[in-house]
């Protein structure tokens, strides 16, 4: 039976829209700057498509939130958060790797948004976003492969037959002989190293162009953490004679000109920290070797502290937008509400 009463968006649906709006406005700033410098016409084509998609998404999210009478987030603007005329900070190969990693992470985010969406129009919207992002991901990885910029994850020899774990030694890792990594553990470490290499390179660039000594010190600490995590993952691979992804830190130019606002760069770093925490947690949940599980736990705790300090810096500078929250019933009951 049809009804005139609209179905209101749930809290998870609002959360997905709010988060995507912030992310898309951030992306628009980065894409606009990148398009001023990218010389490779194939990479530029991917960025032009990405820019148009982000603009379309911002418009659609604005429509959804306006109909619900939710204020539109500030997010990031081209006027305040990026100087598109600043000198080149990143080389073309970095830009290609950036869009590859961002689409990879975007697919994970859209899958979560679909699963959190109840309303039909929201589900259809996020399924479309997922399809668009998968297409960009496919284009970016094909282009990286064709240009020799993609490090394929390690290859393992197929076993003679299926097998089952027979001894608890399968779980050991601290003492005695460690078993070789299994395919699941290799996949997660490769995945996390790929992203951490990008995060490290971003920090190198942001350290050069930030105008704040305090923010620069925070980024330098983040770079030290990222390089440490890469070193730990790489040492695990070296033990089994496995290849690791390449570094992208040499793809940063010598520019020190103001390129992005400190607010923008802090958000990018916070985002990379939050995503790393999510993927580390996922990897730890399916890891079987105790020593690697302990490594993930230690690295997660280190990122949690770094992320908390980053959030405090953003609060201190008035940069941390607050997402929509539930009503404070206690304050309302005491007459302290609106």
Write out pLDDT tens, residues 203-222: 999 999 999 999 999 999 99
Distance CA 73, CA 29 (A): 15
pLDDT tens digit sequence for 242-295: 999 999 999 999 999 999 999 999 999 999 999 999 999 999 988 888 889 999
Tell whether 271 is covered by a domain: yes
Q: Give the global pTM.
A: 0.90
Q: Could you tell me the two tokens for 147?
A: 């240009």
Do residues 103 and 216 both lie within one domain? no
pLDDT range class, residue 326, cuts 50, 70, 90 = confident
- In a domain, residue 337? The reply is no
If asked whether residues 251 and 174 sit together in one domain, one would say yes
Query: What residues are paired with 82 via a beta bridge?
Result: 260
The CATH number of residue 194's host domain is 1.20.1260.10
3-class secondary structure, 260:
strand
Q: For the ranges 6-20, 113-127, 157-171, which has the lowest average pLDDT? A: 157-171
Average pLDDT, integer, range 156-172: 69
**Residue ranges with strand state E in 19-142:** none
Q: Count the neighbouring beta carbons within 10 Å of the beta carbon of residue 263.
A: 19
pLDDT digits (tens, 9 = 90+) for 39-72: 999 999 999 999 999 999 999 999 999 998 999 9
Q: In Å, how far from its chain's centre is CA 219? A: 16
Q: How many domains does the chain have?
A: 2
Compute the average pLDDT of residues 299-316: 97
Do 134 and 17 share a structural domain?
Answer: yes
**233 plus 100 within the same structural domain:** no
Strand partners, 90: 252
Mark whether 317 and 174 lie in a shared domain.
Answer: yes
Q: How many helices (H) and strands (E) does the chain have?
A: 10, 0
* Domain span including residue 306: 170-321
In a domain, 4, yes or no: no
The CA-based angle 244-187-279, given to 5 degrees, is 100
Q: Token pair of 145, please?
A: 């492969």
The answer to whether residue 284 sits within a structural domain is yes
With H, G, I as helix, E, B as strand and everything else as coil, classify residue 90: strand
pLDDT band at 3 (very low <50, low <70, confident <90, very high): very low
Q: Are residues 141 and 251 in the same domain?
A: no
Domain annotation covers residue 335: no
Q: What percent of the chain has pLDDT over 70?
A: 93
Give the confidence band of 176 by pLDDT, cuts at 50, 70, 90. low
């Amino acid at each position: 039976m049809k009804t005139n009463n609209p179905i209101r968006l749930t809290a998870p649906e609002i959360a997905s829209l709010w988060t995507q709006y912030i992310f898309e406005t951030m992306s628009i700033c980065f894409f606009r700057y990148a398009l001023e410098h990218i010389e490779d016409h194939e990479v530029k084509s991917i960025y032009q498509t990405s820019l148009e998609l982000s603009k379309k998404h911002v418009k659609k999210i604005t429509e959804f939130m306006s109909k619900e009478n939710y204020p539109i987030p500030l997010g990031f603007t081209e006027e305040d958060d990026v100087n598109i005329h600043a000198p080149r900070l990143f080389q073309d190969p970095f830009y290609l790797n950036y869009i590859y990693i961002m689409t990879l992470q975007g697919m994970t985010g859209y899958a979560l948004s679909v699963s959190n969406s109840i309303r039909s129009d929201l589900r259809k919207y996020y399924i479309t976003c997922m399809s668009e992002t998968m297409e960009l991901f496919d284009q970016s990885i094909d282009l990286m492969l064709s240009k020799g910029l993609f490090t394929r994850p390690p290859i393992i020899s197929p076993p003679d037959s299926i097998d089952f774990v027979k001894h608890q030694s399968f779980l050991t890792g601290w003492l005695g002989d460690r078993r070789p990594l299994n395919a699941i553990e290799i996949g997660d470490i490769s995945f996390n190293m790929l992203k951490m290499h990008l995060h490290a390179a971003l920090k190198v660039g942001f350290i050069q162009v930030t105008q704040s000594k305090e923010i620069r010190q925070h980024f330098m600490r983040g770079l030290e953490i990222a390089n440490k995590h890469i070193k730990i993952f790489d040492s695990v691979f070296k033990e089994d004679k496995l290849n690791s992804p390449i570094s992208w830190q040499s793809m940063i130019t010598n520019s020190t000109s103001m390129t992005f606002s400190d607010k923008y760069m802090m958000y990018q770093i916070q985002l990379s920290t939050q995503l790393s925490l999510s993927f580390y947690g996922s990897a730890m949940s399916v890891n079987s070797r105790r020593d690697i599980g302990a490594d993930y736990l230690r690295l997660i705790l280190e990122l949690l502290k770094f992320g908390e300090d980053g959030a405090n810096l953003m609060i201190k500078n008035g940069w941390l937008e607050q997402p929509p929250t539930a009503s404070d019933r206690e304050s309302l009951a005491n007459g302290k509400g609106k």
